[in-house]
Amino acid sequence: MLERWRSRARGLVGDRRAVAAVEFAIIAPLLLSLYFVTMEVSQGIETNKKVSRVGSMVADLVTQQQTITISEIDAIMKIGEAILQPYNRSKGKIVITAIKVTEDTPPKVEVEWERKLVEGSASAGAVKGTATTVPPALKVKGTFLIRVESDLDYEPVITWAATSKPALGLAAAFDGISMSESYYLRPRMSLSVPCTDCGS
């Protein structure tokens, strides 16, 4: 009887049937995890590049104008928002600020006009005369700058869910990855870019 059990044990140890299935069951989850992580990282990098592109493109379009209106500013911001497509898991934020550096000693840095696009809705930003800041290298007396700030809370696809569906449990661990860029450009066609209907 004991010999029979020993024989069966040796046979079990030497049995190679279904080894591939067992190996697949062990390795498959790891490979799938690596695939999804790689896909998510590549999408995140691409979206971050788009956030940067939004800021540079919007700043470039605004600084090419000699004067500008609210409707033109809002249209430019909508174009910037479209750059983020097909990413649609969260809405970006774009803030355009026209900045005047005064002739005072020391020079003051003040808002001339500001518009922002938040959650797809455009509105006025800081009022004229509000103090703001610029990098020290750009704080030159009597100059005019356009600053564009683009922000996005990136939501990884593994945590995102449509509004009608519950989010995955990973949402608590990955509560959005903040992506942002700020661009400063000087006007191209004139000394300043006044907004004719932004008000004071």
| pLDDT tens, the chain, 200 aa long | 677 777 766 666 666 666 677 778 888 888 888 888 888 888 889 999 999 999 999 999 999 999 999 999 999 999 999 998 888 888 889 999 999 999 998 899 999 999 999 988 999 999 999 999 999 999 999 999 999 999 999 888 766 555 545 445 444 445 678 899 999 999 999 999 999 888 75
Q: Where are the domains of the chain?
A: 34-185
Return the amino acid letter for 49.
Answer: K
Q: How many CB atoms lie within 10 A of CB 130?
A: 13
Q: Which residue in the block uniquely carries the two structure tokens 């690596």? A: 34
Return the amino acid letter for 67.
Answer: T
Query: Do 115 and 74 meet the contact criterion of CB atoms below 8 Å apart?
Result: yes
Strand order in the sheet with 121-124: 121-124, 109-118, 93-101, 144-154, 177-185
C-alpha distances out from residue 159 to 20, 83, 139, 176, Å = 33, 23, 42, 9
DSSP category for residue 74 = H
Torsion of CA 116, 136, 131, 53, to 10 degrees: 0
Torsion of CA 42, 121, 69, 149, to 10 degrees: -40
C-alpha distances out from residue 71 to 8, 12, 104, 115, 146, Å = 84, 78, 33, 10, 17
Residue 125, token pair as written in the block:
């930003």
Q: State pTM to two decimals.
A: 0.78
* C-alpha closest to that of 155 among 146, 163, 144: 163
Count of helices and strands (H, E) across the chain = 3, 5
Non-local CB neighbours of 30 within 8 Å, separated by 6+ positions: none
